């Protein structure tokens, strides 16, 4: 098993996007690359800790590659908005790939460069690509949020469209029970 860590806005949405992919064993919502140890949700939301809301994926590279995870990452959020995803604004919502090794760094930088060279988006990709310096799991009530609270308005209007996009674009990569 290997790890991948991505920031793409509110971790509730990002977690829901990756949970049902074949080869993904676990997705944990959390905080990374900030200035203090073991931050709380309230501290991260203040914008003063420097942490990003992220998800950390435990995956089987024999079933799904890091490159495939990157493809899902780039296609399910707007990597051109600095410190923002939709109505969620603040540095904690920044787009980021927090790599665990040089191969992940290389693949993320190559993909970002190709997107920019192809003008895949109206604006340049601003996703930060940095080494993972720290990861702290979020509080328990943030874990598996969409699956436990899918009826809530935020989940219906923000997370659900992203989950449906993954089902439409990557249906062949979904676990059989969710396809």
- C-alpha span between 123 and 81 (Å, rounded): 8
pTM above 0.85, yes or no: yes
Digit-coded pLDDT (tens) for 52-101:
999 999 999 999 999 999 999 999 999 999 999 888 899 999 999 999 99
Helices 66-75 and 160-169 pack at an angle, to 10 degrees, of: 130
CA R_g for the chain: 15
Q: Residue 179: pLDDT above 60?
A: no
- C-alpha span between 161 and 120 (Å, rounded): 21
Q: What is the mean pLDDT of residues 125-132?
A: 97
Digit-coded pLDDT (tens) for 109-126:
999 999 999 999 999 999
The percentage of the chain sitting over the pLDDT mark of 70, rounded to a whole number, equals 99
Positive or negative, the Cα torsion across 71, 76, 81, 84?
A: negative
Catalytic site residues?
10
């Amino acid at each position: 098993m290997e790890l991948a860590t991505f920031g793409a806005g509110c971790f509730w949405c990002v977690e829901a996007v990756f949970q049902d992919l074949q080869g993904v064993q676990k997705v944990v919502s959390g905080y990374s690359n900030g200035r203090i140890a073991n931050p709380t949700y309230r501290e991260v939301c203040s914008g003063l800790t420097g942490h990003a809301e992220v998800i950390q994926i435990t995956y089987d590279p024999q079933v799904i590659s890091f490159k495939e995870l990157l493809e899902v990452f780039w296609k399910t959020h707007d990597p051109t908005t600095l410190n923002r995803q939709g109505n969620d604004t603040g540095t904690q919502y920044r787009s980021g790939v927090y790599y665990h090794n040089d191969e992940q760094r290389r693949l993320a930088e190559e993909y970002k460069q190709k997107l920019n060279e192809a003008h895949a988006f109206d604006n340049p990709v601003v996703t930060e690509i940095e080494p993972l310096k720290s990861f702290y799991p979020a509080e328990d009530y943030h874990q598996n949020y969409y699956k436990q609270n899918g009826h809530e308005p935020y989940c219906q209007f923000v997370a659900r469209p992203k989950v449906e996009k993954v089902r439409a674009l990557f249906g062949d990569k979904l676990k059989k029970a969710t396809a």
